[in-house]
Structure 1
Amino acid sequence: MNPTTVPPPGRDFYAEIAFSPLFAGLAGPEAAVLLSGARIDSHDDGHLLFAEGEEAGGFFLLLDGHVELFVGEGGRTTVLDVAKRPAILGEAALFDDGRHPHSARVVGHARVLAVPRGPFLEGLESRFDLAQRMLGSMSVRLRGLVGQIAELKLKSTAQRLAGFLLGLAPEGEGKALVRFPYDKRLAAEALGMTAESLSRALARLAPLGVESRAENLVAIADVAALRSFCAEEGEE
């Protein structure tokens, strides 16, 4: 299915992307040059934003929704992460060999700002601060992946799932009702486990007041207790 494209509508366009540290405060003629040809696209489930090994024509700012990042080999795929707002996607290829190191596929529905490579890189030559912001974004992504690797080695499946659920819950203590933002199978893969392991992990969290409900809902009886459980040394 072809994407639904919304042309940049002047000030409203810049207001919509201002939440991103990369584009904060960007406006006027200089912004028009940097974002020449940029557009806001809406994509349905399964749409491939870019493929592993493909030459990068630009990068994307995720405005709404989720995007699965994965690599493939021998017919099998490995989920690296499931990105959400305000992630920047595909920017690494702009500074490396020009090819994407992984693939990116829309989960459910997503809106993205698609930024062409050429005009943006030309604009960076006179805006060192923007180059620093983009490197900062890449650094945040790298730290996140390092954190995920550390959790795979140091935390149990139940603790990794608990951390994921806490990330969906509002700040504070007490009770919370959260919903898996996408398919549990994908959530399991992103957490480095199988769907069966995720089900077993949910069962292990039951004594802590975690209850799986219909429609991908999960009830948390005590957010503070679950947070303390995550901080314990991991044991399978």
Structure 2
Amino acid sequence: MRDRNTLIRSPLVSCLSPNSMARMMELATVLNFESRDILFREGEHAEFFYCVLTGYVRLYRLSREGREADIRVCGSGDTFAESLLAVDDTYHYNAQAAENVTLARFDLQKVRTLAEKEHDVANAIIQCLSACLRSTMDCVANDRLQTAPQRVAQYLLDNCQEGAGTASLRLPFQKSLLAGKLGLAPEALSRAFSTLRTCGVTVRGRMIQISDVSALRQI
């Protein structure tokens, strides 16, 4: 029931009519993966796209030398590989379970066929792709306009309660995953947290204390 409710609330499904929602739910196959399991690799023929129900999935690419570059961290309700609904193609990145995860898997061809018949399904797909594009453009802009401490500060502020003078946060995943999410090397993330100590940011494992939120906003 929890997984069903998460899927119903996801951007892909929540805006559908009752009939289309029921048909999408029929197409979903719920799967569990353990931490570090590979869901698919770059270059493989694409048959499915996914929606995260619990946990986190890491999307990344590999260089010829084996260096990894994180593209996105997907959490509950996020879809990935849905861009392949537009074309019959191969996966353009690797997908790995960052921890134990539960996913809803959809057959690309079956959803294409449904979208051709049900306009609200097609519109939901367009909205998901549009949101992904806007998010990607924001990430590119932040990479160019913000320093590493500013990126970390913005992430913390986005997770602070509005109007709070102090805050206590627990990272939902390991700091190495946060580094990839923000486009930073792990050592760059550590240096950024060290810089933010002057703004009252204290890090103990996954717990982060912020003694002065207003000072953090000035970074």
Say yes or no: does 1:71 pair with 2:61. Answer: yes
Say yes or no: does 1:86 pair with 2:77. Answer: yes
Counterpart code for 1:173? A
Q: Flag the structure with higher helix content.
A: 2
Aligned to 2:194: 203
SS at structure 2 position matched to 1:135: helix
Equivalent of 2:37 in 47, 62, 69: 47
Cα distance 1:14–1:157, how it changes in 2: closer, same or farther (>3 A)? closer
Counterpart code for 2:11? P
Equivalent of 2:14 in 13, 16, 24: 24
Aligned to 1:154: 145
TM-superposed CA distance for 1:131, in Å, is 1.0
Cα distance 1:121–1:35, how it changes in 2: closer, same or farther (>3 A)? farther
What is the RMSD computed on CA atoms of the aligned residues? 2.2
Q: How many residues align?
A: 218
Cα distance 1:138–1:37, how it changes in 2: closer, same or farther (>3 A)? closer
**Does the CA contact (< 8 Å) of 2:46 and 2:90 recur in 1?**
yes
**Which structure is higher in RCO with an 8 Å CA cutoff and minimum separation 6?**
2
Structure 2 Cα separation of the partners of residues 205 and 25 of structure 1: 40
Cα distance 1:57–1:97, how it changes in 2: closer, same or farther (>3 A)? closer
TM-superposed CA distance for 1:16, in Å, is 3.9
Say yes or no: does 1:167 pair with 2:158. Answer: yes
- Give unmatched runs, 5+ long, in structure 1: 1-8, 230-236
SS at structure 2 position matched to 1:46: coil
What is the TM-score of this pair, normalised by structure 1? 0.83
Structure 1 residue ranges (4+ consecutive) displaced by more than 6 angstroms after TM superposition: none
TM-superposed CA distance for 1:149, in Å, is 1.2
What is the TM-score of this pair, normalised by structure 2? 0.89
Matches within 5 A, 1:180-195: 180-195=171-186
Equivalent of 2:206 in 200, 216, 224: 216
**Does the CA contact (< 8 Å) of 2:15 and 2:124 recur in 1?**
no
- Give unmatched runs, 5+ long, in structure 2: none
TM-superposed CA distance for 1:93, in Å, is 1.6
Structure 2 Cα separation of the partners of residues 29 and 189 of structure 1: 39
Structure 2 Cα separation of the partners of residues 181 and 132 of structure 1: 31
Structure 2 Cα separation of the partners of residues 192 and 152 of structure 1: 7
TM-superposed CA distance for 1:98, in Å, is 2.1
SS at structure 2 position matched to 1:104: strand
Structure 1 Cα separation of the partners of residues 102 and 162 of structure 2: 26
SS at structure 2 position matched to 1:193: coil
**Does the CA contact (< 8 Å) of 1:168 and 1:179 recur in 2?**
no
Aligned to 1:4: none
Structure 1 Cα separation of the partners of residues 21 and 180 of structure 2: 39
Equivalent of 1:59 in 37, 40, 49: 49
**Does the CA contact (< 8 Å) of 2:20 and 2:120 recur in 1?**
no
Structure 2 Cα separation of the partners of residues 147 and 80 of structure 1: 13
TM-superposed CA distance for 1:101, in Å, is 1.2
After superposing the two structures, state which structure 1 stretch, 100-109 or 180-189, moved more.
180-189
TM-superposed CA distance for 1:19, in Å, is 0.7
TM-superposed CA distance for 1:37, in Å, is 4.4
TM-superposed CA distance for 1:172, in Å, is 3.1
